[in-house]
Amino acid sequence: MSDVLYDVPGPKAVLRNRILTAVLTLALAGAGYLVWKRLSDRGQWAGELWEPFTHADVWTNLILPGLVNTLKAAAVASVLALVFGAVFGVARLSEHRWIRIPAAVVVELFRAVPLLILIVFLKFGVNGLNIGLRVESFTAVVVGLMLYNGSVLAEIFRAGVSAVPRGQSEAAYGIGLRKTGVMVHVMLPQAVTAMMPAIVAQLVVLLKDTALGFIVAYEDLLYRGVNVFAVNPPVKYIQAMIVIAIIYITINMAIGFLANRLEARSRRSRKSAAAPVTSAPAAPGMSAS
């Protein structure tokens, strides 16, 4: 089938795409082999460097507690970011300028500020103001993640609602529904289905961004994982980073798999006229976050 923005490739284009895919696959495989060979030449695959990861105490005292802290920060920040995004996304759709414009300023501001700067400011900047407010590492990480990712989610919510054809709302108004009823009963149910891929993708980004808590000494998976090398001298950063990366990849793949199943099930059980939203719209003069 053809789409407005995409045409199904013809035989020549299919052949060209397959050749490019094969070349890229070979290039990636070659690069992977070179990295593996370089590490092998330097003895980084030696068994004694990996042996500490077979000890139960390394997992129970360092890695698993760090994983719990990562998931805790990600869970709290995800809930807050979704609420933040829903509130400001709806505010940006308001017909009242005194609501729409301040909401747009807040969203664009926190989308533009790097997350690392937000976390560092919340931890050290606020504490340095001497106003009697003490911000812990967990709070700095969660609030920073909420403000940044919530702003991105606000744009996703706005795009999802805007993706619902105008005829849907006009028909709802035509049968006597008020503005709130139109949004709750007509627009949002269809928009949620369209937004699901983008929302889940952003939550995966949020989970990975918890690693930035390392800079403010939040004892997450990364912070505790790299400390394995200090407790077990044979271990180096490379081994610790590889193990931590595998854990992150496993969690994110599991989230992505569940999200795809949920989105597919939602589309089968609910009819939506809205086109899927795959990412937040780019801010003016910026690339999409």
pLDDT digits (tens, 9 = 90+) for 20-43: 999 999 999 999 999 899 888 888
The confidence band for 273, taking pLDDT boundaries of 50, 70 and 90, is low
pLDDT for 212 beyond 70? yes
pLDDT over 60 (residue 270):
no
Whether 87 is in a domain gets the answer: yes
| pLDDT tens profile 157-171 | 888 887 777 766 667
pLDDT value at position 281? 63
Instruction: Note the pLDDT of residue 151.
Output: 93
Amino acid in position 98: W
Same-domain pairing of 31 and 66:
no
The predicted structure's pLDDT at residue 206: 92
Rounded to an integer, the average pLDDT of 84-111 is: 89
CATH of the domain at 153: 1.10.3720.10
Q: Quick one: 34 and 131 in the same domain?
A: no
What would the mean pLDDT of 74-85 be, rounded to a whole number? Answer: 94
Residue 3 included in any domain: no
Q: How far apart are CA 102 and CA 94, in angstroms?
A: 11
- DSSP 3-state of 236: coil
Q: Based on the fold, state whether residues 119 and 240 are members of the same structural domain.
A: yes
Q: 103 and 22 in one domain?
A: no
Domain, as residue range, for 246: 51-269
Q: What is the pLDDT of residue 287?
A: 41
Do 16 and 147 belong together in one domain? no
284: in domain = no
Q: CA 240 to CA 76: how far, in whole Å?
A: 26
Cα end-to-end span (Å), the chain: 30
Residues 21 and 120 in one domain: no
The DSSP element (H or E) to which 256 belongs, if any, is helix 237-269
Instruction: Establish if 109 belongs to a structural domain.
Output: yes
pLDDT for 30 equals: 95
Residue 125 three-state SS: helix
Please list, in sequence order, all residues whose beta carbon lies within 8 angstroms of the beta carbon of residue 241, skipping any fewer than 6 positions away: 225, 226
Amino acid in position 141: V
Q: Please provide the average confidence, as pLDDT, over all residues in the chain.
A: 81
pLDDT at 90: 85
* Residue 5 pLDDT greater than 70, yes or no: no
Considering the domain architecture, whether residues 79 and 211 belong to the same structural domain is answered as: yes
* Residue 1: per-residue pLDDT: 39
What is the predicted pLDDT for the residue at 282?
60
Residue 6: inside a domain, yes or no?
A: no
Which is more confidently placed, 286 or 103? Answer: 103
On whether both 38 and 115 belong to a single domain, the answer is no
Helix 188-209 with 64-92: angle, nearest 10 deg: 140
Tell me if 278 is assigned to some domain: no
Work out how many domains the chain is built from and give that number: 2
Q: Residue 278: its pLDDT value, please? A: 55
Shared-domain flag, residues 22 and 65: no
Helices and strands per DSSP (H, E), number in the chain: 14, 0
- Reported in sequence order, the residue ranges of the chain that DSSP labels E, i.e. its strands, are none
- pLDDT of the residue at 285: 44
| 91-100, 178-187, 231-240, 261-270, range with the lowest pLDDT | 261-270
The pLDDT of residue 3 is: 44
Q: What confidence tier does 4 reach under pLDDT thresholds 50, 70, 90? A: very low
* Domain shared by 83 and 143, yes or no: yes
Residue 228, pLDDT score? 72
In a domain, 213, yes or no: yes
Q: Are residues 86 and 124 in the same domain?
A: yes
* 49-53, 112-116, 148-152: the lowest-pLDDT one: 49-53
Average pLDDT of span 249-259: 83
Domain presence at residue 16: yes
Question: Do both 61 and 183 map to the same domain?
Answer: yes
